[in-house]
Structure 1
Amino acid sequence: MNTADLGLPVDVPSTALFTDQYEFTMLQAALKAGTADRRSVFEVFTRRLPEGRRYGVVAGTGRVLDAVENFRFDADVLGFLRERNILDEQTLTWLADYRFSGDVWGYPEGEVYFPGSPIMRVEGSFAECVLLETVILSILNHDSAIAAAASRMASAAGERPLIEMGARRTHELAAVAASRAAYLGGFTSTSDLAAGFRYGIPTVGTSAHAFTLLHDRERDAFQAQVDSMGRGTTLLVDTYDVAEAVRTAVEVAGPELGAVRIDSGDLLLVAHRVRQQLDELGATGTKIIVTSDLDEYAIASLAAAPVDAYGVGTQLVTGSGHPTCSMVYKLVARAESGDATAPLVPVAKKSSGGKTSIGGRKWAARRLDEYGVAEAEVVGTGPVPDGLADRQLLVQLIKSGDVVAREPLDVVRDRHTSARGKLPLSATQLSRGEPVIPTEYVNGRSGSRTGA
């Protein structure tokens, strides 16, 4: 695996150190105690959605699969751990041969999720599973937060395209992951060339205000851009006076001008004025693109404006106020001994303060009403109830250490559009509210059902 495919610097040989130190100290102690080989089941879930959100979006699964494949301990990594005296030689020897050999199941990437949804299930020995906690959570928490924001923005935009342009507002590697998550959530293109290179996302871009300021006259800047990129280019018209810039833009490019971009001011008012001016100048086919710190609420407020596309940066790559999904990675079952045939025992944290979890290896299904609209997320242990067997959500992603479910990003993107379309209409409302469907827990032994 080429580390460039992971969005890593070329001098980082693996994902093994994208890990909190306590994963290693737990491993060392378990090896000494003789419990490291116990078969274990870890699950990724969130206890609640970010405040006001109606649904979550599973994103980053493809990157998780790459990260697990690339979770290797080469000489440099082992040398670092040895020099820092983080681990003893027995543990370092064990790590030298580390290859995840277990199974991973999860919601298909692009699917929606709700509180308690077992978004991902990692099965294998305690030793090999516990090491993956941090890298899995860091990817899923970041990418799912961006995808959820993108999904809300896509709903607000309707059929109008969205351009991701937040690379300058976040870490350079996070920007690439954010572009991928945004495309999954409904954006149509990105300004980030690294994202285009790694994931095949369409890329766009023309000029900034600096290009206009470079030239002696705005007309000279427009002429230079049209000479270079053709009449179908997008000209930035708010460096000085918008009305004068629009007039100059059409004079330079003619009515074939592709688009104008507005990046400041009262976008609703300015867009109406620019549309009227363009039409009066005969540039009826010239589109209007708006940018300037947009979020889903601003996009929704422009629904009645003559806007053809939106460019979104800061609010998108920061999750529109919710940069994480608060997903956790918890041990829910483990074997009674290291014997491969030992039965699994459900385990769960039982503390106060809202951090309890439900033990047992879980399945999940989404119950639909008579119209095919989702009405409940059903999560349980034991046998799957009649009527839900063909509605199960988890699919196998890794089998005996081998990735079995890698997918093209466009497939994932289409899946999200389909999944969101099967939610109740209130899912797309931007007003604050509870999850759009409840989570119901089914006890495998008694068949009893409880709400989330």
Structure 2
Amino acid sequence: MTGTIDRRALDAGHTLVTPLTTTGASTALHTDAYEITMLRAALADGTAAHRATFEVFARRLPAGRRYGVVAGLGRLTEALQEFRFTAGQIAMLRAIGVADDATAAYLAEFAFTGNIDAYREGELYFPYSPVLTVSGTFGECVLLETLVLSILNADSAIATAAARMVTAAAGRPLIEMGSRRTHEEAAVAAARAAYLVGFTATSNLQAGLRHGVPVTGTSGHAFVLAHADERAGFAGQVAALGTGTTLLVDTYDTGAGIRTAIDVAGTDLGAIRIDSGDPAIEAARARTLLDSLDARGTRITVTGDLDEHRIAALADAPVDAFGVGTRLVTGAGAPTAEMIYKLVAIADAPGADAPLRPVAKRSVGKASIGGIKRASRELDDAGHAARERVVATPDLIGRTRPGRLLQVSVVRHGTVLHSPTPEEVRAHHRRAKTELLPRDLDLSPGTPRLTGAPAGRTP
């Protein structure tokens, strides 16, 4: 990494670094300055060497949500393996006064050597569910806060919104198409998160390359507009992509576009796409027209500012697939998961055998629950989730009713042990979702039926 420090900005009390060019894959500076300054103070007073445990949880779900979906764990373990401080990064931290000599020396040798336990990716979570637990020394654990939260919060928000859309679609395919509505890297992560909970494909090529998400796409309005008329545009697309392609028929007049599409491609046309108007009305008209033209096998894909509620409203419409973008990848459709990273136990002395002392915040509205926790989901006789059982003693889990352990060993002594494939995550999510009751899957605003707060200990 190279960069220059603006000394006038430093003198004025501001920190500006310009320009910075990352030459390696390090994720170490995907963090906040206060993580480094906390480490600096902890090194100075000795706390950095004390054993500690941090927990990731959400005090509440976004307003109206009845469950959340954990996503981002696979991306987190990949990022953790690249969490190394380069000489250039350390030089920057020293130059701007964030790191002193002792901190710089610590960072130069840093590699996470602790443990991580977590809910599986694709698992459901509820308020106070101990979604992820990080254990090690205070120094190494505190450095991971921002990296952990930035990945889990973003991916879990997308996955939860996408899971609700999958419910609304009732088995019909969903295509993620939000790349042009968000940051370029956020688009890749969003495509992955949506796929893990049941989306069929994405339009984002990088998501296909990096994460193996199936990729699809055909044409936009620009292609039609680039030709002398709609017929010429359709003819060019069919000549290149075959009659199985999807033709975008609403550039000018949807009805006329459908007639032209079938005239050009024949009745074996794969699909049409409608991106404007009232989708229920337009889809019904399109199906009637296609059938009258003997194109009964031609499918209808609807796109255009869809969310779970708009998809649900199309339950009886003759729509075969949905393309979802803006309201999946932006805050309007995927509000923050509100996960936080809190210290729940710490030793009062260095050493592997020093006992851990539970700690908790008690501030109004932001209280936490101290102690290392383990969780299971108790099931009723029908296999539905009856309780999120969270206890401090693992051997108490699952004694009263049938259930399953929710946390798995993800990292041990700095080595990643748990790295399921996307298909394994998709399968786990499907199984977990079958444990919900119909009222849990209701898309109308409601409150979570389950909670991860230990009995009698809800702040």
TM-score range, shorter chain: over 0.9
How big is the shift at 1:362?
0.5
Aligned pair 1:373/2:384, yes or no? yes
Contact 2:127 2:453 in 1 (8 A): no
Contact 1:365 1:388 in 2 (8 A): no
Alignment-mate amino acid for residue 168 of structure 1: R
Q: Tell me which residue corresponds to 1:137.
A: 149
**1:260, distance to aligned residue in structure 2 (A):** 0.3
Counterpart position of 1:445: none
- Structure 2 matches for 1:432-447, cutoff 5 A? 432-442=445-455
Match status 1:310 vs 2:319: no
1:6 paired residue number = none
Match of 1:87 in 2: 99
Alignment of 1:340-379 (within 5 A): 340-352=352-364, 354-379=365-390
Report if the CA contact (8 A) 2:67-2:126 is conserved. yes
Q: Could you tell me how far 1:359 is from its partner in structure 2?
A: 0.4
Q: Give 1:240-389 correspondences, 5 Å limit.
A: 240-352=252-364, 354-385=365-396, 386-387=399-400
| Distance in 1 (alpha carbons) for counterparts of 2:227 and 2:413 | 61
Query: Secondary structure, in 3 states, of the residue corresponding to 2:47?
Result: coil
Corresponding residue of 2:420: 407
Q: 1:320 to 1:156 in 2, by over 3 A?
A: farther
**Counterparts of 2:394 and 2:328, CA distance in 1:** 41
User: How many residues are paired up?
Assistant: 437
Describe how 1:36-185 pairs up with structure 2 within 5 A. Answer: 36-185=48-197
Q: Does structure 2 retain, via aligned residues, the 8 Å contact 1:348–1:356?
A: yes
The 2-side partners of 1:280 and 1:389 are apart by 55
Tell me the alpha carbon deviations over residues 226-284 of structure 1, each in whole angstroms, 9 at most, x when there is no partner: 00000000000000111111001001000010000000001101101110110111111
Q: What's the CA shift for 1:451?
A: 6.0
In structure 1, give the amino acid aligned to 2:194: A
Identify the match of residue 223 of structure 2 among 191, 208, 211: 211
One-letter code aligned to 1:14: S
Q: Quick one: which amino acid aligns to residue 204 of structure 2?
A: D
2:222 partner letter: A
Q: Tell me: CA distance 1:134–1:280, structure 2 relative to 1, closer, same or farther (3 Å).
A: same
CA offset digits 1:301-360 (Å, max 9, x no partner):
0010000000000000125434311100000001120022111100011111x1000100
Once residues 205 and 32 of structure 2 are traced to their aligned partners in structure 1, the CA distance between those partners, rounded to angstroms, is 31
Residue 391 of structure 1 deviates from its aligned partner by 2.1
- TM normalised by structure 1 equals 0.94
Which one-letter code corresponds to 1:408 in the other structure? T
Quick one: distance in 2 between partners of 1:304 and 1:140?
35
Q: Kindly provide the amino acid, as one letter, of the partner of residue 431 in structure 1.
A: S
Q: TM-score, normalised by structure 2?
A: 0.93
Please say if residues 50 and 322 of structure 1, whose CA atoms lie closer than 8 Å, have aligned partners that are also in contact.
Answer: no
Contact 2:71 2:152 in 1 (8 A): yes
Following the alignment from structure 1 to structure 2, what is the Cα–Cα distance between the partners of residues 329 and 230?
52
List gaps (5 residues or longer) in structure 2: 1-20
1:418 counterpart = 2:431: yes
C-alpha spacing 1:256/1:389, structure 2 compared with 1 (3 Å): closer
Would you say the 8 A contact 1:380–1:441 is kept in 2? yes
Q: Secondary structure, in 3 states, of the residue corresponding to 1:31? A: helix
Preserved contact between residue 54 and residue 343 of structure 2 (Cα < 8 Å): yes
Cα deviations by residue, 1:28-58 (Å, 9 ceiling, x for unpaired): 1111101111000000000000000000000
CA distance in 2, matches of 1:35, 1:440: 29
Worse-superposed segment, 71-80 or 384-393: 384-393
The verdict on how the C-alpha distance between 1:259 and 1:426 changes in structure 2, with shifts beyond 3 A counting, is same
3-state secondary structure, aligned to 2:122: coil
Q: Distance in 2 between matches of 1:381 and 1:245?
A: 63
- Deviation (angstroms), 1:450: 5.2
How far did 1:85 drift?
2.1
Aligned to 2:5: none
Q: Deviations over 1:39-89 (max 9, x none)?
A: 000000000000000000000000110111110011121121122221101
Match of 1:391, SS? strand
